[in-house]
Amino acid sequence: MESLATFLSADHRDCDAALTRFEDAIRAGDPGAIQQTFDAFHRAMVRHFAREEDALFPTFEAATGNAHGPTAVMRMEHDQMRMVLAQLEAELARGETSRSLAHADTLMVLVQQHNMKEEQILYPMCDQVCGDAAELLARIRGIGED
Amino acid sequence: MKLVTLRIDALPPMRVPLRFYLTAPVFGMLAGSLLLVESDTALASRWMPAALALTHLLTLGVLAMVMVGSLFQVLPVLGGGSIPGTGRTAAVVHPLLTIGSGSLGYGLLTHSAGSLTLGAATLGVGLGGFAILVGTRVLRRQAGGDALFAIRLAALGMASTAALGLVLALGMAWPSLGIPFRLWTDAHALLGFGALTLLLVMGVSFQVVPMFHVAPPFGTRTTRVLSLGVFAGALGLAFGGELLDPRWPGAALGLASTAYALALLTRLHRRRRRRAEPLVRAWQLAATLLLVTIAVGTAHLSGVGDPRLQILLAALFGYGFALTVVLAMLGKIAAFLAFTHLQRQCLRAPEAIPLLPTMDDIVGSRAAWTQLGVHTLALVALCAAVLWPASAPLAGATMIADFAVCGRNMLGAALRYRRAERAIHETIAATGQRP
């Protein structure tokens, strides 16, 4: 059976690929493609945050009785990423492509150091403590599925 | 439950890595000045006092300084947990490493027994203690992926390099101890370059290259085989003595390093993030320089007797492979740390968000390109000076320029951080909150 770590790490890679396509579009300078790839990246990020904040983290917190440990840190880092996403969106709306690229670069570093912590520490812990992983995984998959 | 108490918010205070990052370029400029002043002898033979001092100013004062400072930031992210007593530990290790690098450099240059002893003692306590702390309190955790496997081996390499260095420095200060210098110096250098530096860079690249550049992963089996190959090869070459034909461990080290360099180049070539940034070019240059180092090392082990080959090897590996990556990573880490500290302060006060710089505002890509360009020039000048000694003063001057650029970038990042922090605090205070 697919583990939580495998599924959620693959979800990270989908977000990375979406961000890369957005950066490529900015460099190519096609306004339509820039908006389209940004929307796709934004959707992927929002869906991933929801999968964690609405399903994974509450289950982990219930299983461990700790809502102030790693999940609180991960929620704070999600807020940091949301902040940069909002700045990026605002620059994009102003047509400031070079500032958008600078924000995208910042976001990439922020995302990757966050992903490392989740993939190296949190997800393996979740696989150990989250009980019925099949049911949880089904719920996580269901979030954001059209 | 023990697992849940694991801290993953172990972002070190900005001042912790910054003190190491601001000190390293000073030692780099000192090394360049030494090469400029002692241009006749510094590259003439690896046994010349100026050559030994130059090597240690660069390996301890620059490489070890940056690596130790970065481990405070990198280890928690890679899953090893935070270094115990982060701020206090840094406040002890940093002055010990600074005093130790300076005294050892001076002692090696002048044969001053007092300086050598002071250098050995401070570095033994500082670096040895740090390696033991990292090894026993952080790296024994079960968490962590492919990177930590290599970094655990590198911690062993650091402890053994430091132990051998300690004995050698004391042996030089007190000749009556009768230390077999040539043999143990070779072992010290092989462990420091192979079992410590190469493994540490490999470990970081296993994690950082696939993630930051959206490249294919190295794979657990590959990373472990390569790390063990490098470690065993370096160990065999260092301690094989007369029991082992050096060509066997040399072949293991050469093959594992070649496979690593090719794996790194392949992954960078297949990265999905096509942005041509200085860090990508630095990794590509480093991998290429590692291949050149292996070719020169093979010629040396095959019996090409030119003594300049040994110095060329050290220049290509230390100044080329290792320092190219270290200087490029330094800009990224400093920018990230400054940004993330500032951004966390803005989380409570959205009105301060417009004051937040991007990472590119803190250490810009133009600054990073300049660093890579000047560093490449300094490397070419250094290698040229090994082969044509008359050009050594030029190598010294470009080395000074290389670290002046690094120092300017670090100082710029620190000042930008302080300015932004002050502005954010003023904005937060205006909202009636405590910064």
Of residues B406 and A64, more confidently modeled: B406
Q: Which residues contact B374 (CB under 8 A, 6 or more apart)?
A: B398, B401, B402, B405
Q: Does B212 contact A128 at a Cβ distance shorter than 8 Å?
A: no
Q: Tens of pLDDT along B102-142? A: 999 999 999 999 999 999 999 989 988 888 888 776 666 65
Closest Cα in chain B, distance from residue A137 (Å): 21
CA B324 to each of CA A64, B60, B230, B371: distance values in angstroms, whole numbers, following the listed order: 44, 16, 20, 9
Q: Tens of pLDDT along B201-248? A: 999 999 889 888 889 989 999 999 999 999 999 999 998 877 888 888
CA B120 to each of CA B68, B239, B246: distance values in angstroms, whole numbers, following the listed order: 18, 22, 29
Size of interface A-B (CB pairs under 8 A): 100
Q: Does A79 contact B347 at a Cβ distance shorter than 8 Å?
A: yes
Least confident stretch, A137-141, B76-80, B306-310: B76-80
Q: Which residues contact B302 (CB under 8 A, 6 or more apart)?
A: none
As a whole number, the mean pLDDT across chain B is: 89
Give the total residue count for chain A. Answer: 146
The beta-carbon neighbor of A121 closest among B6, B212, B272 is: B6
Q: What is the mean pLDDT of residues A130-144?
A: 86
Domains held by chain B: number: 1
Angle between helices B146-173 and B65-78 (to 10 degrees): 150
* Closest C-alpha among B138, B15, B62 to residue B330: B62
* Closest C-alpha among A127, A138, A137 to residue A60: A127
Residue A146: its pLDDT value, please? 59
Q: What is the mean pLDDT of residues A57-81?
A: 89
What span, in angstroms and rounded, lies between the C-alpha atoms of B9 and A77?
9
Q: Tens of pLDDT along A83-106? A: 999 999 999 999 888 889 889 989
Is there a contact between B371 and B353 (Cβ–Cβ < 8 Å)?
no
- Count of CB atoms within 10 A of residue B16's CB? 22
In a domain, B354, yes or no: yes
Residue B6: its pLDDT value, please? 44
Q: What is the mean pLDDT of residues B331-349?
A: 86
Q: Which of residues 114-133 of A touch B (CB under 8 A)?
A: 115-117, 119-122, 124-125, 128-129
Q: Tens of pLDDT along B4-48? A: 344 555 678 889 999 999 999 999 999 999 999 999 988 988 889
* Closest C-alpha among B36, B25, B40, B38 to residue B389: B40
Q: Does B6 contact A70 at a Cβ distance shorter than 8 Å?
A: yes
Q: Does A117 contact B77 at a Cβ distance shorter than 8 Å?
A: yes
What confidence category does residue B435 fall into, taking pLDDT thresholds of 50, 70 and 90?
low
What span, in angstroms and rounded, lies between the C-alpha atoms of B13 and B73?
9
What span, in angstroms and rounded, lies between the C-alpha atoms of B313 and B335?
32
Q: Does A129 contact B339 at a Cβ distance shorter than 8 Å?
A: no
Residue B212: its pLDDT value, please? 85
ipTM over 0.90: no
Amino acid at position A93, single letter? A
* Closest C-alpha among B222, B164, B236, B165 to residue B194: B236
Q: Which residues of chain B neighbour A78 with C-beta distances below 8 Å?
A: none
Residue B9: its pLDDT value, please? 58
Enumerate domains of chain A plus CATH numbers: 4-142 (1.20.120.520)
Q: What is the mean pLDDT of residues B361-375?
A: 94
What's the CATH number where B135 sits? 1.20.210.10
Residue B152: its pLDDT value, please? 86
The beta-carbon neighbor of A66 closest among B4, B207, B339 is: B4
CA A20 to each of CA A17, A26, A80, A100, B403: distance values in angstroms, whole numbers, following the listed order: 5, 10, 20, 13, 33
Residue B274 reports pLDDT greater than 80: yes
In a domain, B422, yes or no: yes
In a domain, B271, yes or no: yes
Q: State which residues form the domain around B251.
A: 10-427
Q: Does B8 contact A122 at a Cβ distance shorter than 8 Å?
A: yes
Q: Pick the residue of B5, B223, B275 with the most A CBs within 10 A to test the interface with A by mutation.
A: B275
Closest Cα in chain A, distance from residue B274 (Å): 8
In a domain, B4, yes or no: no
Residue listed under structure tokens 């990373």 = B223
The percentage of chain B sitting over the pLDDT mark of 90, rounded to a whole number, equals 57
Helices then strands (H, E): number in chain B?
17, 0
Handedness of CA B347, B348, B353, B357 (dihedral sign): negative
Q: Does B211 contact A112 at a Cβ distance shorter than 8 Å?
A: yes
Q: Which residue of B has its CA nearest to A73?
A: B9
Residue B3: its pLDDT value, please? 40
Residue B355: its pLDDT value, please? 86
Q: Which residue of A has its CA nearest to B75?
A: A117
Q: Which residue of A has its CA nearest to B272?
A: A20
Of residues B229 and B305, more confidently modeled: B229
In a domain, B100, yes or no: yes
Helix, strand, coil shares of chain A as percentages rounded to 5? 85, 0, 15
Angle between helices B392-430 and B15-37 (to 10 degrees): 160
Q: Which of residues 287-346 of B touch A (CB under 8 A)?
A: 332, 336, 339-340, 343-344, 346
What span, in angstroms and rounded, lies between the C-alpha atoms of A34 and B253?
47
Residue B413: its pLDDT value, please? 95
Residue B1 reports pLDDT greater than 60: no
In a domain, B290, yes or no: yes
In a domain, B298, yes or no: yes
What span, in angstroms and rounded, lies between the C-alpha atoms of B2 and B163?
34
